Structure 1
Amino acid sequence: MVQQQKELRKQAQELLLKYDLRKTGCRVDVLELFLQNPFALSHSDLEKLLGDDYDRVTLYRTLYSFKEQGLVHSINDVSGSVKYALCKEACSLHQHHDNHIHFNCNSCGQTFCLDEVLIPATALPDGYQIERLHFSAQGVCKYCNTAT
C-alpha cells in the first residue's frame, strides 16, 4: 500500500514535469486521484475526496491549469455537471485530442473515457466548422456488470 502510494506520487510528479507545470501539493494530490480512479472526476468529487486540504478556488485553478496545458479534458455528463479525466493521447497547450466516446453508467453514475472507441470522422456542410465534438453512451459499466 505504501509502495503503491509512492509510485502514484512519482507518476504525478513526472506528469507535472512533462506538462511544464509547477509542482504543488494540490496538483500532486489531484493527479494522484486521477491516476487512482478509472472514471472522470468532478470538482465536487475532488472536494469530497480531498476533504478540507484545499479550498474551492485552489481546486478550480488546478483543474484550469491542467486543462490549459493539455493534461486533462472536460466532459459534460448526462446530469449536466462537468467532469475531468486525464488525457491519454498527446494533448498539448490548448489543443485536446479527446476524440473518444464517454460512457455514463446508469447504475453507479460514473463517467468513463472509452479511449479505444473513437468518434468517427464527421463531414459537415460547407460553412460549418467543428470546434468540439461530444459523443457519449449510456448504459451499465463493466464494474457494475460484474457486481451483479
Structure 2
Amino acid sequence: MEESQYGNLLQLHGIKPTANRIIILRALAVAKYPMSLKEIEEAIVTIDKSNISRTLALFRENHLVHDMEDGNGNVKYEVCFSHSEDSDDDEHVHFYCEGCRKIFCFEDTPIPQVQLPQGFEKNSINYMMKGLCPSCARKRALRSIKS
C-alpha cells in the first residue's frame, strides 16, 4: 500500500487521518499477519500503549480492523479492507498454527454462511481454524520418521 493510501483508507472509514493513526495503520498493514497489542507496541516505540489501544478501539468501531482471539486467549488485530465504515465485507477464514503459534489469513476463503435461529442478529463473526501450518507439519513428520 502506498503512503497516500493510508490517509484515504482512514477517511473512507470515517476516521480523521492523524500522524499517529497513519503510523498504527501502516504497522498493521505491512505486518502481513494479525498483531497483538504488544507486537504493535514493539513495532511502534514512539506511541504509548494507551494511545495505541484507543486508536485500535476507534478502528474497530469503524470497521477498519478485525480483532480475533488467537487460540491462546490473546487478541490480535488486522486491517480490514472492507469498503464501508458501517459494515464489514472483508470477513475471511483465519488459521492458527498450534506449532509456531502464527495466524494465517485465508483472504480468498470466505466464512461459511450460518443460518441463525429466529430473533438472533449477527454483529460480527470470527472463524478460526486450528492445526499445523505446512512448515510445522513437515517438522513433525520429520521428527516421527527419526523416532
For 1:36, what is the secondary structure of its paired residue? Answer: helix
Gap runs ≥5 in structure 1: 1-6
Higher mean displacement: 60-69 or 84-93: 84-93
Gap runs ≥5 in structure 2: 140-147
TM-score of the pair, normalised by structure 2? 0.78
C-alpha deviations, 1:34-57, integer Å up to 9, x for none? Answer: 221110111111111112x11111
Percent identity over paired residues? 28
2:56 paired with 1:63? yes
2:96 paired with 1:104? yes
For 1:104, what is the secondary structure of its paired residue? Answer: strand
2:84 paired with 1:88? no
TM-score of the pair, normalised by structure 1? 0.78
In 2, Cα distance between the equivalents of 1:133 and 1:46?
A: 23
In 2, Cα distance between the equivalents of 1:89 and 1:33?
A: 18
In 2, Cα distance between the equivalents of 1:99 and 1:61?
A: 23
Q: Which residue identity does 1:16 align to in structure 2? A: L
Q: Which residue identity does 2:95 align to in structure 1? A: F
- Number of residues of Structure 1 aligned to a counterpart in Structure 2: 138
CA contact (8 A) 2:95 2:128 kept: yes
Structure of greater Rg: 2
Q: 2:143: which partner in 1?
A: none
In 2, Cα distance between the equivalents of 1:36 and 1:127?
A: 40
2:113 paired with 1:121? yes
